[in-house]
Structure 1
Amino acid sequence: MKKQLVVVTGGSGFIAVHIILQLLQQGYAVRTTVRSLQKTALIHEMLANGGVTDFSALTVAEANLNSDANWNAVMQGATYAIHVASPTPNRVFKDEMEMIQPAVDGVLRVLTAARDAGVKRVVLTSAYGAIFAGHKNRTTPYTENDWSNLDAKNVHPYQKSKTLAERAAWKFIKTAGRGMELAAVNPVGVMGPVLASDYSHSNVQVQQLLDGQIRAVPQVDSGYVDVRDVASLHLLAMTAPQAAGERFLATTGETLSMLDVANILRVAFPALAAKLPTKTIPNVAVRAAAVFKPDLKMIASIVGGYAETSNAKAVKLLNWHPRSAKTAIVATAQSMIDLGIVHP
C-alpha cells in the first residue's frame, strides 16, 4: 500500500524536524522544503540523532517562502501539508513590514499551492504570539478564542506578523479554500531535545543560562511545552476529523518565570548550579535598555505581563496529554550536554 505523503515546510527547523521524525515513525512519506538543499545533511543528522535509520520515505525539496518557484511541484501528490516554516525574524529592522509582509505572503503561497494540488488539510504552525499580545489587565488564562490586539501600543512586529499571517490563513480558507481544511497550532515557549548543534532561538535561553552568560534574568513569565508534544499535536490536528477549522494552544498550562527555569536547571544539574542566575532585573531597567538595544525590544514589550494559558481544548478535543514544563526544560539541557553544546 502506498504511503500517504505529507509536505512539511522548513524541515531543518526545531519543531519541523520533530514533526518529520514522528511522521516517519508512523509510516507516512514526507517531502520537506528548505531554502537551500545544503540543509539536507543537517536534517539527516537530526533525524538520525532522533532514531531514524531509514530515509527512503523522506525527500527534501528546495522552496523559498519569498518566491512562487517550486511550490506547486512540492505539493503534488500530498494528502496533507504542515506549514511550519516562517521567515527568520530579523531582530533589527527599519520598518515592521519587513517582518510582517513575508510571513503573510509565505502563508498564502503555501495555502494556494496546497489547494491547487488537492491537499486535504493544512496544519499551520502559528504561535502564542497570535493570542496574547496587546491585552491589558488580563486575569483569566488565554485560550484559542483570544487573538492578539494589534491596536494596542507596544505590540512587537514579530507578534504582529504571527497574528496577521494566521488571520490571512483563515480568511483564505473561508474565501478561496475550495473545501480544503485548515487547523492551527499555537505553541508557547518550545523546549525539549535539540537534535543537533544547529538549533532554534527558543532554546538559546537554556544554553545561555547553562553557560553562565546570564547573571540576572528579566521578569518574564511564560508557558513552556515540549517539542515532542508540539509535534504530536500537529499530527493529531492533521488527522482528527474534529480538528478541522480549529486552532489549538500548545501549552502544558503551567506558567514559569525565567528564574523558575534557572531554578529547575539548578536542581537537575548541580554541577552547573554556580553558573545559573539567582537575581532578576527590574522591569524599568529592561525597558530603558531596550531604547538603546533593539534586540531587547521584544523582551521589553512583555516584562511583567500576565501569561497564564489553558490547554483544555487540545486535551478534551484531541486527547492530547503533554509532558510537564520541567521535563521539557531538563530534556533541552540534557540534549545540549549530550551533544557537547554545553560542558558541565
Structure 2
Amino acid sequence: MSLEEPTSSPPQVLVTGASGYVASHLVQHLLVGGKVKVRGTVRSLKNESKSAPLMKLVPDAKYPLELVEADLLNEESWIEAVKGCDYVYHVASPIIRLGATVSDEQNEIIKPAVDGTLNVLKACVAAGTVKRVVITSSVAAVSGGFIAPRDTPYTEEDWVDESTVPAYEKSKALAEKAAWDFVGKLDEDKKFELATINPSFIIGPPLTLATSDGFSLGSVKKVFTKKVPAIVHVSMAMVDVRDVAAAHIAAMETPEAAGQRYCVDSGRNLWWKEVADIMTEEFGPQGYKPASFVMPKIGVGILKFFDDTLKRVYPMIGKTVTFNSAKMRSQLGIEPRDPKISIIDSCYGLIEIGAVEKTPLYKGRTDDESKGDAKQEEKTKE
C-alpha cells in the first residue's frame, strides 16, 4: 500500500492530536510532501495557542491543513473526524508534563489512552474507507520504559507486564494491546491494516511553544536552563522527533509494515551527564550554563519523596536499557540521527521558539550546521 498510488483525488489523511510534539512534525512532513490532504484533530479550535501555530507550519502547502475538534473520550466526535479518510495516524494520547501531579491515574492517564484508541478505531470501522492505521505507541509497551535492564536489547517481540509499571507505561501497553486485539477480531469485510511505532525517549526541536514542556523535551529544557539542582545518573535510549515522524510515514507507505510493530530508536544511549556536556560544549560559549553536578543516588532517594519526577526516575539510576531498531532501518529505511545532533537541535529549537531566552552572546546555528541537518533530512527520505 502506498500514498503515491494514482487516484482521481489525493488521499485524505487524519492525524490525531495534531498540536502535539510528534504530531506537529508529522503534519509538517505530510504537508511538505504534498501527496495527501491532511486533517488534524485538536481538542478545541478556540485554543489559538494550539491551532494557530499548526496553520503556519506550511503556509504554502499544496493542500491546506484542515483542523477539526475531537476528544479522546468523546466517541461521537471521532465519527465525523474520521469520515472520508483513507489513512489514519493515531498520535493523540495523554501525556505526563514534567513536574505535574496526577491525582487520578486511571481516569487521567489510562482510560483516555485505552478508550481513546478504541474510539478512533471504532470510527475507522464506521467510516468504511480507512485502509491503514498507524498508532504511536512507545517502548514503554515493549520494556516498561527504561527501568528493566537486561543483557540483550529489547525487540518488537517483547511486551511489558503492565501490572508491574507506573500509570503512563501501563497506559501505553494497554492501549496498544487493545488496538491489536480490536483489529484482530474484526470481520474480514471490516478489517483495515494496522502498524505501531514504538519510539524511545523523544528529543529534537519543537515546532511550537506549546510542545516544549512535555516529559522528554521538558527534561532537556530543565537541564539546559539549570532549572534542576543536579543531574540524575540515568541512561536514556533516545530518538529524534523528526525520525519518529518519518517512521510514521514510512510505516504507512511500506507494504510489509502492515501488522508490524517498530522499535524506533537511534541505537545510542546517553547518560544525562553526557547530554549536559554536549550542551555545555555547544552553548557555553553562547552564554548558557547547563546543569553539570550529578546528584548522588542517596540524595535522589531522599528528595524523591518530595518530587514526583525524581520518584519516577529513581528506579532508573545507574541502569541501561537498549532497544534493537534493526527492523526500523531495514523495513522502513530510517537512518536515525546521532542523539548528539538531536540534543543540540533541541536546544536551538527551544531558543528559537521562545521557550528559552536568548543570551547577549547567542549566535544561533551556523550555515554549515543547517546544511548538515538538511542532508540528514534527504538521507532519511531516501
TM-score by length of 1: 0.92
- The answer for the alignment partner of 1:10 in structure 2 is 17
| Counterpart selection for 1:334 from 334, 343, 348 | 348
CA contact (8 A) 1:143 1:311 kept: yes
* Distance in 2 (alpha carbons) for counterparts of 1:325 and 1:339: 21
Specify whether residues 263 and 52 from structure 1 end up closer, same or farther in structure 2 by C-alpha distance, changes over 3 A only.
Answer: farther
Partner amino acid, structure 1, of 2:184: K
- The answer for the alignment partner of 1:175 in structure 2 is 185
Answer yes or no: is 1:132 the counterpart of 2:132: no
* Distance in 2 (alpha carbons) for counterparts of 1:41 and 1:306: 37
| Counterpart selection for 2:173 from 156, 159, 163 | 163
More displaced 10-residue stretch of structure 1: 259-268 or 132-141 = 132-141
Local SS of the residue matching 1:229: helix
- The answer for the alignment partner of 1:299 in structure 2 is 313
Report % sequence identity. Answer: 36
Partner amino acid, structure 1, of 2:332: L
Alignment of 1:1-344 (within 5 A): 1-27=8-34, 28-39=36-47, 42-46=50-54, 48=56, 50-54=57-61, 56-89=63-96, 91-98=100-107, 99-118=109-128, 119-133=130-144, 136=148, 138-152=150-164, 155-176=165-186, 178-200=190-212, 201=214, 202-271=216-285, 275-342=289-356, 343-344=358-359
Gaps of 5+ in 1: none
Give 1:40 shift: 5.5
Gaps of 5+ in 2: 1-7, 360-382
Give 1:289 shift: 2.2
Local SS of the residue matching 1:32: strand
Deviations 1:181-200 (A, max 9, x none): 11000111111121222214
Partner amino acid, structure 1, of 2:140: G
CA contact (8 A) 1:267 1:273 kept: no
CA contact (8 A) 1:80 1:122 kept: yes
Partner amino acid, structure 2, of 1:290: K
Give 1:271 shift: 2.9
Give 1:32 shift: 0.7
Give 1:176 shift: 2.6
Give 1:275 shift: 1.8
CA contact (8 A) 2:149 2:321 kept: no
Give 1:136 shift: 4.5
Local SS of the residue matching 2:160: coil
Specify whether residues 228 and 93 from structure 1 end up closer, same or farther in structure 2 by C-alpha distance, changes over 3 A only.
Answer: closer
Give 1:114 shift: 1.0
Local SS of the residue matching 1:262: helix
> What CA RMSD, in Å, does the superposition of the two structures yield over aligned residues?
2.1
Give 1:56 shift: 4.4
Local SS of the residue matching 2:150: coil
- The answer for the alignment partner of 2:367 in structure 1 is none
Partner amino acid, structure 1, of 2:250: L
Give 1:107 shift: 0.5
Specify whether residues 246 and 230 from structure 1 end up closer, same or farther in structure 2 by C-alpha distance, changes over 3 A only.
Answer: same
CA contact (8 A) 2:38 2:63 kept: no
* Distance in 2 (alpha carbons) for counterparts of 1:129 and 1:250: 12
Give 1:320 shift: 1.3
Specify whether residues 266 and 25 from structure 1 end up closer, same or farther in structure 2 by C-alpha distance, changes over 3 A only.
Answer: same
* Distance in 2 (alpha carbons) for counterparts of 1:165 and 1:339: 32
TM-score by length of 2: 0.83
Aligned residues: 341
More displaced 10-residue stretch of structure 1: 88-97 or 137-146 = 88-97
* Distance in 2 (alpha carbons) for counterparts of 1:181 and 1:305: 37
CA contact (8 A) 1:47 1:195 kept: no
